[in-house]
Amino acid sequence: MFSLSNLPTVNAVLNSASAILLCAGYLCIRRRRITAHKSCMIAAFVVSLLFLVSYLTYHYQVGSKSFAGEGAVRLVYFVILISHTLFAAAVVPLVLVTLRRALRGQFPRHLRIARVTLPIWLYVSVTGVVVYVLLYHIYGYR
């Protein structure tokens, strides 16, 4: 049976899938595989949207968990978490504008913003998994 306690793992899987799709989409466009690029990027958007719904549902129902690590790892965790959170807030409008420009065929403008959006989106996806592993598997929580 599925419970709320499964959502952090689901979130990590969705973040991982997003990162993989972003990398695949980047490789596709570098190889001029436009249709495959579009499919990967739309899939990354959908997966990220599912992540956001799952993440908000979990934290609305359960709240936040405290990090139990101590010493230097605590500092590293919070640096990753804070940068992840700030970039996660910034990436939402960037993704929406990037996607809108692509869907409207504004490719020069799409390319300019995509060069900013992709590394931020990828950073958010990867650090989301890192935060999950540190919080739920390596150091647990209080």
Q: At 68, which CATH number?
A: 1.20.120.80
The pLDDT of residue 10 is above 50: yes
Query: Average pLDDT for residues 106-120, to the nearest whole number?
Result: 98
Closest CA to 5 of 48, 58, 56: 58
Judge whether residue 65 has pLDDT over 80: yes
Domain that holds residue 122: 4-138
The string of pLDDT tens digits covering residues 43-64 is 999 999 999 999 999 999 998 8
pLDDT at position 141, please?
54
Q: How confident is the model at residue 113 (pLDDT cuts 50, 70, 90)?
A: very high
What mean pLDDT comes out for the span 3-17? 94
Residue 125 scores a pLDDT above 70: yes
Examine the pLDDT at 142 and tell me if it is beyond 80.
no
pLDDT of residue 140: 66
Residue 55: CB atoms within 10 Å: 18
Collapsing DSSP states into helix, strand and coil, what is residue 141?
Answer: strand
Domain count, the chain: 1
Please tell me the distance from the alpha carbon of residue 35 to that of residue 88, in angstroms, as a whole number. 27
How many whole angstroms separate alpha carbon 127 and alpha carbon 124? Answer: 5
| Residue 129: predicted pLDDT | 98
